[in-house]
Structure 1
């Protein structure tokens, strides 16, 4: 097995139906205003983690929160977890600023996110 410097879970994305209401709830919960606000995403940076709210995430196959493991080489990590039995749900894609994300499912159907910052 290849050695990797996993940086841990630093990002959790939550699918939401009503972005404005979800923003109010998470702002109250976290005690801070979001750092990113748009019609398609609201994001908070708190306690070393990024918490994101994603409207319409069901169309992206997201039915529950997805945790994203930060990795130094997303393609290498994808190859490792696929070889171990995971199935690609969404291949690595640039979501802006050189940030790459991908999701896989484990053998029990749990969705695992991978994230590589440039």
Structure 2
């Protein structure tokens, strides 16, 4: 067995339309794929983001696995960002709430996390290994 890389992360939302609009504003891109549920309402919206075009899927909570907690918790996946403090400030301005403040982990690794307006944990980090592998984004120092 070999885990070859992050493929898709799903965030749950009672209102996928509102979640898709919030993430489109936060990410600066529209979802590339959307699918309605049996009731005709939007049940899934997917974004491709970052250097590897990782998939962020927004799924109607109606399709969540049984027993999934309705409070933030569990695994916390971090997205690399070149400007951690600016990203956190923007997410908070858009209505997210702080879960974990900006925290220096050592060796230039810095993390933070927020709870999006739909109850999902969204982790962001500055990861020097990521920059070594993919470089910094254009316009960053």
Max radius of gyration: which structure? 2
Which fold has the larger relative contact order, with Cα–Cα distance below 8 Å and residues 6 or more apart in sequence?
A: 1
TM-score when normalising by structure 2: 0.40
Pick the structure with more strand per residue. 1
